[in-house]
Every structure is written in structure tokens, then in C-alpha cells.
Amino acid sequence: MNVYEEIRERTEVAELSSAAERGWTHSETLIKDVRYLLDENARLHTELEAARKIRFPRQPDGEGGWTIDYNFLDQLDTKIYKDSDYSMDLEDLEKTLLAIEKFLGHEGTVNS
């Protein structure tokens, strides 16, 4: 049994009924809150795992020295900065996207 299953098991009404003795009068609310937090933790874990697999479209054969597809970068640049006072050249945009890929791909091991 992992820690999350154990916590879920302990959130049964019978386990928390003694909480009222220690001043917790809303044990049903506490149970709902604990279950919500466990579900939210599971959802965020799933989203992070999906984000770690992000990979932007590649330029065929590295044509023109690009790693990420030039047309993708151009379209993204147009959408991002269309109504903005800010801009970024495509080389810097590509470097940023590659850094995001690298960070997401290694975040779990680097920061653990």
C-alpha cells in the first residue's frame, strides 16, 4: 500500500470520529478536504507527466541550422507578439522552447 492509499484509508469516518474529541467538530469536512487534496495531487502529477513529454516540431534534417521547425517558430512568433509591444527574434524563441523541453524532460530528476 502506498502512502496515498494509506491516507485515503485513514480518512474514513470511523478513523476521524475521534477527531471531534480533540476539537475537530467538522470531521466530514476534513475528510472531504483530504480526499480533494489527494485527488488534486494525483491530477497535477498526471499533468506534469504529460508536460514532461512536450516536444516541439523539428526542422527536417536541421535545414537552415534550425532544430525546431522554422514555420512553427514563425507562426508562434506572429501569434505571441501580434498585439504586443515586446518582441523576440526567432533564434531566442527557439532557444527558449528548447530550454523548456530540457527543463520539463529533466525536472523530476534534477529537482528531486
Entry pTM: 0.53
Q: Are residues 7 and 45 in the same domain?
A: yes
Asked if residue 110 has pLDDT above 60, the reply is: no
CB atoms near residue 85 (< 10 Å): 5
Per-residue pLDDT at 61 = 85
Is-contact 56 69, C-beta < 8 A? yes
CB atoms near residue 11 (< 10 Å): 17
**Would you mind telling me the total number of residues written for the chain in this entry?**
112
Q: Are residues 64 and 105 in the same domain?
A: yes
Per-residue pLDDT at 101 = 86
Q: Are residues 37 and 66 in the same domain?
A: no
Assigned domain for 54 exists:
no
Cα torsion 11, 12, 13, 14 to 10°: value is -110
Per-residue pLDDT at 68 = 92
Domain that includes residue 67, residue range: 60-110
Number of domains in the chain: 2
Here the cell at position 16 is 476521524
Rounded average pLDDT over 31-40: 85
43-90 pLDDT per residue, tens: 999 988 888 888 889 998 888 889 999 999 999 888 888 888 888 889
pLDDT-derived band of residue 109, with 50, 70 and 90 as boundaries? very low
| Rounded CA separation 4/45 (Å) | 13
